[in-house]
Amino acid sequence: MTQARPLSLITGASAGIGSAFARALAAQGHDVVLTARRTDRLESLAAELRASHGIQATVLTSDLADPHAAEQLCATLDQRGLKVDWLINNAGYGVPGRFEASDWATHADFLRVLVTAPTELAWRLIGSMRERGYGRIVNVASLAGHVPGSAGHTLYAASKAYMIKFSQSLALENQTTGIHVCALCPGFTRSEFHDVTGTRPLVNKMPGFMWQSAEDVVQEGIKAVERGDAVYVTGRFNRTVKSVFKLMPDKMALRMSAKQSRRYRTQD
């Protein structure tokens, strides 16, 4: 079967950056496959995109904390004859508090959603992209992956640093294949993320210039992956932060990170 339009698979599509990616790519004429845990939200978004853009929107409810989720998603796509051109690895969340404050099952689920599942989806889909000589993979990382780790939310920055390095290597491996891979690194983004982690009262104290909308992040991300940028930090403020920390001695950078993280991380 030949697809008339590009097809984008978007994880974590029910809200925030994920739904913004779905809307932006549908507006560009992409068919979309939307996946997340909340079926009602996905169905509502799918109906909106079909009505607004006349594209095909497929809902595949999935919990990427399930060790078999990525394999099952790709098997369903194969059964339906759907070939993914754009993979948006966006699903993610934070686990607040100290490392030992949560049980291991909580951390294991987190690692599957933010590290294992996006890596496996890329592995399962990139072969078909190479056969067709075209593909785009956006791994939604974070500015947190470029700066020293913080106390609290212990695995978050570590998982995002992994996605940055993974994206760089995958981009290099595919320089001549027609596949572009980009680690997209936003900073503070207006979404439900901080409501879910319980840090909304803290982050609401942050000045407005530190924030971006999900729509702005996505527009920068689409341009970056099309250019072939292996890593892209969104927003001038975030790029300045990255540069400042890169120039600092490690001990000074860690002290500054410790001081600043108390403003927006739950550490107890």
Amino acid identity, position 191: S
pLDDT at 215 over 90: yes
- How many Cα atoms are found within 13 Å in the side-chain-facing hemisphere of 152? 17
Residues 261, 152 contacting (CB under 8 angstroms): yes
For residue 250, the model assigns a pLDDT of 86
What pLDDT does 256 receive? 80
User: How far is C-alpha 218 from the chain's CA centre?
Assistant: 10
Quick check: is 127 in a domain? yes
- 267 in a domain, yes or no? no
Residue 220 is assigned to a structural domain of this protein: yes
Catalytic residue among 93, 156, 232, 264: 156
Judge whether 156 counts as a catalytic residue. Answer: yes
Is the residue at 35 inside a domain? yes
What does 114-174 look like in DSSP terms, one character per residue? IIIHHHHHHHHHHHHHHHHT-EEEEEE--GGGTS---SSSTTHHHHHHHHHHHHHHHHHHT
- How confident is the model over 139-193, as pLDDT tens digits? 999 999 999 988 889 999 999 999 999 999 999 999 999 999 999 999 988 765 5
Helices (H), the chain: 16-27, 39-53, 69-79, 104-111, 117-132, 156-173, 193-197, 200-203, 214-227, 236-247, 250-261
Phi, psi for 139 (deg, rounded to 5): -100, 110
CATH of the domain at 241: 3.40.50.720
How high is the pLDDT of residue 44? Answer: 98
Spacing of C-alpha 253 from chain mean position: 25
Q: Please report whether residue 266 resides in a domain.
A: no
Is residue 1, in this structure, part of any structural domain at all? no
Domain count, the chain: 1
- Residue 251 reports pLDDT greater than 60: yes
* Structure-block tokens of residue 34: 């939307």
Can you give the residue range of the structural domain that contains 105?
7-261
Let me know how long the chain is: 268
In the structure encoding, which two tokens stand for residue 36, read together? 């997340």
Interval 89-142: pLDDT, tens: 999 999 999 999 999 999 999 999 999 999 999 999 999 999 999 999 999 999
Specify if 193 maps to a domain.
Answer: yes
Helix crossing, 16-27 with 214-227: angle to 10°?
60
Residue 163 in any domain: the answer is yes
Greatest alpha-carbon span in the chain? 57
- Spatial separation of the C-alpha atoms in residues 260 and 268, rounded to whole Å: 16
CA distance 153 to 261: 10
As a whole-number percent, the residues of the chain with pLDDT over 70 amount to: 90
